[in-house]
A and B are shown apart, each in its own frame.
Chain A
Amino acid sequence: MSGINDYIDNEVKGNDVVLFMKGTPGFPQCGFSGQVVQILDYIGADYKGVNVLDSAELRQGIKDYSNWPTIPQLYVKGEFVGGCDIVREMFQAGELQTFLVEKGVSVKGAA
């Protein structure tokens, strides 16, 4: 396993909810990443944002890791959930909150 793959694997397995994104949760640099940030913030889930713009190796590595060609990518408890479209669809259908709770992730908001 390459170094970047180990790094990604650690992030995915070491955090309950981790979002690989362009920019940071405080300053997303892509509209798709920004949408996922807004959704996670709205439902009040704790998550870690990993900025793929930090390195070209990471940007390519995450695509290889999941065999998924685009960013953002959301992982919950080590499992790949999807990108912006899937997260938004799940949220709109009310499934994202249920999914997180089933996975044992606390959601504080969901106003």
Chain B
Amino acid sequence: MSIQATMEDKLNKAFSPERLVIINESHLHAGHHHHGSDHHGAYDGTGETHFRVRVVSSTFAGMSRIDRHRAVNELLADELKAGVHALAIEPAAPGEKIRW
């Protein structure tokens, strides 16, 4: 299973989201060198390294921004360790303004 499919599965199970969109933005980072970082060489843009997660779930109601992000980061901790280099997160509770 691709990393994206695994993440989608985990997010669906954990948050029963009303809406969930996972966007692979790795191609936007093609040629992006990480000078001095743990990542050697440039990303070729074809992999599963940079993702954006947009999720609307009642789980997030009453949670602070930091706690929402922590919940997603912790759920996807294995993926972050295993090669997902950037994870942008746009969490919302139902009824909150979103722009997607």
Complex interface: chain B residues within 8 A of A67 (CB): 70
Majority secondary structure of chain B interface residues (helix, strand, loop or mixed):
mixed
Contact with B along A75-109 (1 / 0, CB 8 A): 00000111111100110000000000000000000
Complex interface: chain A residues within 8 A of B27 (CB): none
Interface residues on B, range: 10 to 19
Complex interface: chain A residues within 8 A of B35 (CB): 29, 53
The CA-CA distance from A29 to B36 in the complex, in Å, is 11
Please determine whether B80 and A86 come into contact, CB atoms closer than 8 angstroms. Answer: no
Interface residues on A, range: 20 to 34
Please determine whether B38 and A83 come into contact, CB atoms closer than 8 angstroms. Answer: no
Partner of B88, one of A22, A53, A69, A85: A85
**Does A59 interact with chain B (Cβ within 8 Å)?**
yes
Known A53-B37, A69-B80; judge A89-B65 contact (CB<8 A). yes
Complex interface: chain B residues within 8 A of A54 (CB): 36
Given pairs A80-B66, A82-B66, A86-B65, 9 additional interface contacts (CB within 8 A): A54-B36, A56-B38, A59-B37, A59-B38, A68-B73, A83-B69, A85-B69, A86-B69, A89-B65
